[in-house]
Amino acid sequence: MFNTLRKRFILISMLSVILVLGIIIAGINILNYDSTVRNADAILGMLAGNEGRFPERGGEVPPPPGQETDAPDRSPELRFESRYFSVLLDAEGGVLETDTGMIVAVQSEEANTMAADVFAQDKTKGFVNDYRFLKVSEGADTRIIFYDCGRSMDSFRSFLKASLLISAIGAAVVFALIFIASGKIMRPVAESYEKQKRFITDAGHEIKTPLAIINADADVILSEGQNSWAEDIKDQVSRMTELTNNLIFLSKMEEGIPEMNMTDTDLTAVVTKSCNSFDSRYITDKKTLVKRIEDGVTVKGEEKSLQEIMSILLDNALKYSPEGGTTLVELQRSPKGVRLTVTNDTSYTVDKESAGHLFDRFYRTDKSRSSETGGHGIGLSIAKAIAQAHKARITADVKEDGKLAVKIIFTEG
């Protein structure tokens, strides 16, 4: 139990750390990328305002209307540091002029091909590999200007890789710290819980002895004649003994004791036998038990424990359904595995929130029915423990018509 709790704590903590790191890294790199693009667009805007060239020194030309107005660092060396080229095309896409004088890596033919591809697109700006382009109109013609962002994009990618690597190392360090800290945090709680379980087991065994003595004394009294007080004592001793045995059983299940002998079990036969044993009780209580049991359903499990879980579910449905109520038992194969469902009418209202607590020890949705039904509010807790031991998932849900459905999914058939 605590290993699972520790794993969940570590998982939630790591997911939180990764989420925060992801937001930070994504934010920094998005801003870095945006800065690169804005700087490139500003330079392209300057080039677009001067027919694909930098204006002569002292002859500043503003970008055309609708283009980016953010100006980059206006260093006197900017025109010599920038690598760009442009292609002028007519309305049909024919090449009128190609200017590759400020770049060596791109020849005229390649420039014309890139321009033709961009001309066919609806976008006015974007990227072709590491070249940022801008499409502007010059009268009836169209000029497409390409700016080489290779160094900036290489720097961006290097920063992205470095930030991801550093984040991964940081996350690994945090994981190691959380792993160590979680063990120390959970240890006192685990020790306290273990002491509690041992107390329940030890106290249960100690209580059994006086209960057995009281029961024997009541038998002696009853042997001398009918005595209502002695009969009541025997009834209460029987209830106390049952409750004690159930608590000890739950405690042992949580400790992983005893080991169950898991074999291929005919679940169809187990469910059918359990239902048949409850038929007379349902008839006596003027209630109906309906069975929809698929033939040949097998699961990996222990027959005795599976019979126990069926008895708990059927007994629970019988106790808490109204006179004339119906309990439906369904066993069928499903895409998720083997599904066993027990659905019954309820003599009181069960909401969605209450259904989620039905497997808690001593939990009751209607506390006034404790003495009336004779239950302890621990049966479904035992059912859950048995289901978990069979690696099955047990849930309770309230249907739209108010009926309560307890479902068990066996993933291994």
- pLDDT at residue 59, as a whole number: 46
Residues 147 and 279 in one domain: no
Do 19 and 151 lie in one domain? The reply is yes
Please identify every stretch of the chain with a pLDDT value under 50, giving residue numbers as ranges: 58-71, 368-371, 373, 413
User: For position 168, what pLDDT does the model report?
Assistant: 94
The verdict on residue 161 lying in a domain is no
Domain boundary among 122, 155, 188: 155
* The dihedral sign for the CA sequence 73, 79, 81, 86: positive
DSSP one-letter code for 50: T
Domain extent, residue 38, equals 2-155
pLDDT reported for residue 347: 66
**Is residue 174 assigned to a domain?**
no
- The token pair at 259 is 């080991």
Instruction: Quote the pLDDT of residue 68.
Output: 45
Q: Are residues 149 and 270 in the same domain?
A: no
Q: Facing residues of 292 across strands? A: 330
Which residues lie closer than 8 Å to 140 by C-beta, 6 or more apart? 90, 91
Rounded to the nearest 10 degrees, what angle do helices 150-223 and 228-254 cross at? 150
Kindly tell me the sign of the dihedral angle through the C-alpha atoms of 270, 271, 273, 274: positive
Same domain, yes or no, for 134 and 11? yes
Number of domains in the chain: 2
* DSSP state for residue 83 in the 8-state scheme: -
